[in-house]
Amino acid sequence: MSKLAIVSNRLPPRPDQAGARAQEVGGLVPALLSALEMSGGGLWLGWSGRAAPEHGAPLTWEMNGSRVVGIDLNEREVDLYYNGFCNRAVWPLMHSFQGRVRLSRQEERAYAQVNARFARRLAEYLSGGETVWVHDYHLFLLGRELRRLGHQGRIGFFLHTPFPAHDTWQILPQPEEFLEAMLDYDLAGFHTRTYRDNYVYAAERLIGASWDGSCLSASGRRQRVGIFPIGVDPARFRGPSREMGGGGRRHRSLWEEAGGCQVILGVDRLDYTKGIPNRILAFESLLRSHPQWRGKASLYQICAPSRTRVTEYMEQKRTVDALVGRVNGEYAEHNWVPVRYLYRSYPQARLAQFYREAHVCLVTPLRDGMNLVAKEFVAAQDPEKPGALVLSRFTGASEELRDAILVNPYHPEDVADGIQRALTMSLEERIARHRKLAACVERHSSRWWFESFLAELASTRK
């Protein structure tokens, strides 16, 4: 296998990086580090996360035998490329939130410039034959720029978000140019058949590409297109022992914290795509339609801070704060709080404990490329006494986890019915559903994901 270079917008934390972020290593980082290790060590390049006045020498550090290279952006690039085009244009567009898309030619130019600078910096570390794996919507144009610089090795691209319907895609400035640039990748990978089909249809309609069932062809180029649903490493979540706090203090379980109530758990970044206000309204609908759960069930909503400098995310936090306050003000008793709202991040080991202790996991985004929380919850369950998963139909995970309770997150009463069904489900049914869900999570693990993608990329002809 040739040496591997990975490119993404953000990087794994440095080993010496203190604080919460150093512990917030999700399923993607270990999977990609394993991919680098399997290739004999390689390179991971991305934004350092810093805003520096000038483009100086990149930060570099070693991790698991591979070199990590962090490129600084200046304040203008952070504002126009990241906070601007990536988060105010491409992110809402990919999730079909057309009304939230904000377009600016200045931001579009900054996006192209940063993609080109990433490519130039990457080329300095390449000898010509390495395999390059580019990740996500921040870097649609990087493959084209790398080809212009003369790279002859294979280049793959994986999209972690949905790919929207072609009429939504056309909201993007110069949608044909973006598709033409994406064809410079030898392999384009998507989570689901729906996302792949949307991409193929857009390429057929907008740039006249032809599709033979496995490859797109246009302008003398041929691209393999595949479906690779990302997974988790089940062993990282399976059967964790009760985590100990500082000085050997044992963390209280969620059940103990809730005073013996049924625990309904939500774990999300604070992002409008996650449908957190809709979820709180659905829980309120449950309390109205099934008042027997008042004092008997609590929603624990963990919200990890996200993109705190972007206006839309600040507004989302204010909305959630106000909604939690209103519901708790209306329904709380002296010994019971309906919604326990935790605006913070937790390390993976603690999340695994929460998953294992929850009676119900509520995963109800309005739109999500995959949603690994659903798979993490399944992996963490006690197979003899599993919790129940309530899952949005508008997640990539719902195309695999068909034995979850599938709900429409836009319909609060439908979600409330799903919660009621989960809370009253017999142990026998929970075990039967969990057995099928766990088999799927084991089959499509994070290791399967990166091995399948890289094997497919290696099979493309140069």
Amino acid at 399: E
The rounded Cα 279 to chain-centroid distance in angstroms is 19
Residue 28, both tokens: 């993607």
- Of 376, 397, 377, the closest CA to residue 388 belongs to 377
Closest by alpha carbon to 373, among 261, 272, 231?
231
Characterize the bridge pairing of strands 297-304 and 210-211: unpaired
Active-site residue among 368, 403, 417, 434? 368
* Residue 135 annotated to the active site: no
CA distances from 268 to 44, 127, 157, 336 (A): 26, 40, 25, 23
Element (H or E) spanning 417, and its range? helix 412-424
Q: Give the burial class of 335: count Cβ atoms within 10 A of its Cβ; 0-12 exposed, 13-18 middle, 19 or more buried.
A: exposed
21 token code pair: 């972020």
Q: CA–CA separation, 224 vs 212, rounded Å? A: 10
Catalytic: 368? yes
Catalytic residue among 79, 160, 197, 251: 160
Which residues are CB-neighbours of 318 under 8 A, at least 6 positions away? none
> Residues of 345-375 as b/e, b for ≥16 C-beta within 10 angstroms?
bbebebbbbbbbbbbbbbbbbbbbbbbbbbb
3-state secondary structure of 65: coil
Residue 412 identity (one-letter amino acid): P
Helices (H) and strands (E) in the chain, counts: 16, 16
Burial 26-45 (b: 16+ CB within 10 A, else e): ebbbbbbbbbbeebeebbbb
Alpha carbon distances (Å) from 4 to 10, 34, 120: 17, 11, 17
Q: What are phi and psi of 237, to 5 degrees?
A: -120, -10
Structure tokens at 39: 């290739």
How many CB atoms neighbour CB 96 within 10 A?
A: 18
Please name the helix (run of DSSP H) or strand (run of DSSP E) that holds residue 311, with its range, or none. Answer: helix 311-331
Cα 186–chain centre separation? 23
| Residues marked as catalytic | 160, 368
